[in-house]
């Protein structure tokens, strides 16, 4: 079988064993979402400019994407640029856009060879033309791939997503095609930008902040939360394995009772 590889280095036997252990020891999350935080602080702690942190952050993106594909994760959603990030100094915003374009140029073929499908969520029309062009090309190149779906949240915010869904539903009501009392959870989910994918099973946040920061507000209702003190550029596959291991120990009840307790109640 062809090995999945985005990085230049060959996967070690030790890493293959670790992945096999994880796959054998429980359920690997179907959908992982990540708030990649701490690039700026990581760079500054090394006496460097913030943009350097974003650059090294791209290496983490590559490593985590590759590891997720190898583990058989179906969806990986990365919070790459929030609606609020437009408010950063213009030099940083421009630097991030350039980094996005250069990363896509470098990685698109690689994603394609590895059967990864690239998609985006967010207000793409706010991006400069060269970003949109590069994204469109990578999306269309990889659209028929059947492996991991890599979703970049770009100019995204959970409140924007919900607002857009509400506007679409309100239009159906206005046009007389929908009675308000028929609006339910399912319908709202179906009008979000993530309509075609399941809610995240696991949400990871780096840099030790205990916040959701306007990420997938609706979709995270029952996601398991994993927070690490590490800054994003230091978050690599071994840390991902720790997060998945922690996920495998969780008792997901979705607001209900554990199976064992349920049996005790019914007896």
Residue 114 beta carbon to ligand FPP: minimum distance, rounded to whole angstroms: 16
Q: Long-range contacts for 209-215 (Cβ within 8 Å, ≥24 apart)?
A: 209/37, 212/35, 212/158, 213/35, 213/37, 213/79, 213/82, 213/84, 214/82, 214/83, 214/84, 214/157, 214/158, 214/159, 215/33, 215/35, 215/79, 215/82, 215/153, 215/156, 215/157, 215/158
Catalytically active residues are: 37, 85
Residue 44 or 140 having the CB closest to ligand FPP: 44
Closer to ligand FPP by CB, 37 or 165: give it.
37
**Cβ of residue 197: shortest distance to ligand FPP, in angstroms?**
18
Q: Write out the residues near ligand FPP by the rule CB under 6 A.
A: 36-41, 54, 57-58, 61, 78, 80-81, 85, 99-100, 103, 152, 207
Q: Which is nearer to ligand FPP, 70 or 207 (CB)?
A: 207
CB of residue 234 vs ligand FPP: minimum separation in angstroms? 12
Q: How far is the CB of 69 from ligand FPP (least distance, A)?
A: 15
Task: Classify residue 67 as exposed, middle or buried by CB count within 10 Å of its CB (0-12, 13-18, 19+).
Answer: buried
The tokens for 5 are 């590889």
Residue 178 · residue 172 · CB < 8 Å: yes
Task: Compare residues 62 and 169 and give the one whose CB is closer to ligand FPP.
Answer: 62
The least CB distance from residue 95 to ligand FPP, in Å, is: 10
Q: In this complex, which beta carbon is closest to ligand FPP, that of residue 39 or of residue 169?
A: 39
């Amino acid at each position: 079988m062809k090995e999945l590889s985005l990085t230049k280095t060959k996967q070690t036997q030790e890493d293959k064993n670790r992945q096999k252990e994880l796959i054998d020891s429980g359920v690997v999350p179907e959908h992982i979402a990540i708030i990649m935080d701490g690039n700026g602080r990581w760079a500054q702690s090394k006496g460097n400019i913030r943009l350097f942190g974003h650059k090294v952050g791209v290496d983490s993106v590559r490593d985590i994407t590759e590891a997720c594909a190898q583990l058989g994760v179906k969806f990986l959603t990365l919070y790459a640029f929030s609606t609020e990030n437009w408010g950063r100094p213009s030099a940083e915003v421009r630097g991030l856009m350039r980094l996005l374009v250069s990363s896509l140029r470098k990685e698109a073929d690689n994603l394609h060879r590895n059967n990864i499908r690239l998609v985006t969520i967010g207000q793409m029309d706010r991006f400069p033309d060269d970003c949109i062009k590069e994204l469109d090309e990578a999306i269309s190149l990889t659209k028929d791939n059947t492996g991991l779906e890599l979703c970049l949240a770009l100019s995204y915010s959970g409140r924007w997503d919900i607002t857009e869904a509400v506007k679409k539903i309100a239009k159906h009501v206005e046009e007389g095609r929908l009675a308000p009392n028929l609006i339910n959870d399912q319908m709202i989910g179906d009008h979000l930008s993530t309509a075609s994918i399941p809610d995240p099973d696991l949400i990871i946040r780096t840099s030790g902040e205990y916040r959701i920061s306007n990420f997938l507000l609706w979709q995270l209702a029952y996601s398991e939360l994993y927070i690490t003190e590490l800054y994003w550029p230091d978050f690599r596959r071994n840390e991902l394995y720790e997060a998945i291991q922690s996920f495998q120990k969780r008792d997901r009840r979705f607001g209900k009772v554990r199976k064992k307790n349920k049996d005790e109640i019914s007896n």
